[in-house]
Structure 1
Amino acid sequence: MFLPGQRRPSVPAADDEVIREDFARYYQQHMPALIRFVMRYGADPYEAADAAQAAFIEAFRAWHLIHSPAAWLRKVAFRQYLRQAPIPQEELTGDVPDRPAFSCPLDKVVLQEEEKRVYTALAQLPMKQRQVMAWHLDGFPTSEIATELGIQPHAVRQNLARARAQLKDLLGLTSGGAQ
């Protein structure tokens, strides 16, 4: 089984048109969700897009070996996000080119005001709670979250319960609804 972070000397996906088309289709369908997943860890949209893009680049190299792309990409994107270091600001000397004609994945993750409140609240959770909540919000079952994060299912459930309680407080929600 191929593990995140491992490198292969060859790039079979680049040589196989069917694999390239499958990868491109998967990228188009899942890139916005992967960006949102990384944002749930506290990344801004640009940091999240960078981490997600790096994960997809790594995935392309071994696409034919990845059995669970959704989980694999989330693990790699999260690690990429953690590795990101502040980039020194460069002074721009020329005009910034116009936006290219193709659609940017960030267009699909523009947040509404209420979503911004939720993402801000998620960023305030302890890392383990943020982690299980990010996987949970992407639809992964407790057992798979436990497997992918290397923790026990009861720890996932406990962290989800704590995260929900803390989010409820942070967002000013009561048992009767929003305040």
Structure 2
Amino acid sequence: MNGPRQSRIPRAAARGDEPGKDWDDEFETFYRTWTKPLVAFLVVQGADAALAADLVQQAMITLYRRWPEVVSPRPWMFRTVSRDLVRAMSSVRESPTDEQGISPLLRPGQSGIEHWERRDDLMMQIRRLAPRQRQVMAWTMFEYTPTEIASELNLTPQAVRSILYQARNALIKAEAGQGEAADE
């Protein structure tokens, strides 16, 4: 499903590509560019690394099958994995791991989410936010504007700004509380 403001003309037709063209190289570039940032996007929203990797892989499979018809793959992926995370968090499931207890795709040094793992203090505070606040913060951290977020989450831009304001205030208060505790 395309976003409300996107053209419904398949990307291939919009570019003038002939039907049957091999889009594997284009998809591979997209896959290599966006897999790790999408995993980090879901981790920011509260997913564990294994669940995030699984959701991104499943969405990439779906995107590959629909590649010629998806007009804007980046927003499509962010929207898809975000919705899939909401569904997954409302159900119970096991996290697949290897014998070391780590998803094979996310061993240290390979995941691309080390930046977020090093920010344990920030991540801990974000995880304490209300689910909608976490969701809006994650979209914001990945450079989406309130208007774009509103479109993706079926909210008004004013509602997104309000949620973002509340989330930022909660993070500021949490940080101030930690600073006071450290001074004592």
8 Å CA contact retained: 1:146, 1:152: yes
Q: 2:71 aligns with which of 49, 67, 70?
A: 67
Within 5 Å, give how 1:34-53 maps onto structure 2: 34-53=38-57
8 Å CA contact retained: 2:41, 2:138: yes
Q: Given residue 39 of structure 1, which amino acid in structure 2 is its aligned partner? A: V
| Structure-2-length-normalised TM-score | 0.72
State the superposition RMSD in angstroms: 3.2
8 Å CA contact retained: 1:27, 1:56: yes
SS class of match (2:111)? helix
In the TM superposition, what is the alpha-carbon distance from 1:110 to its structure 2 partner? 2.4
Structure 2 segments unaligned to the other structure (5+ residues)? 4-19
Q: Given residue 51 of structure 1, which amino acid in structure 2 is its aligned partner? A: L
CA distance, structure 2, for counterparts of residue 89 and residue 137 of structure 1: 25
User: 1:153 corresponds to which residue?
Assistant: 157
Change (3 A) 1:105 1:132: farther
8 Å CA contact retained: 1:35, 1:45: yes
Within 5 Å, give how 1:19-38 maps onto structure 2: 19-38=23-42
Within 5 Å, give how 1:39-118 maps onto structure 2: 39-84=43-88, 85-87=91-93, 106-111=110-115, 114-118=118-122
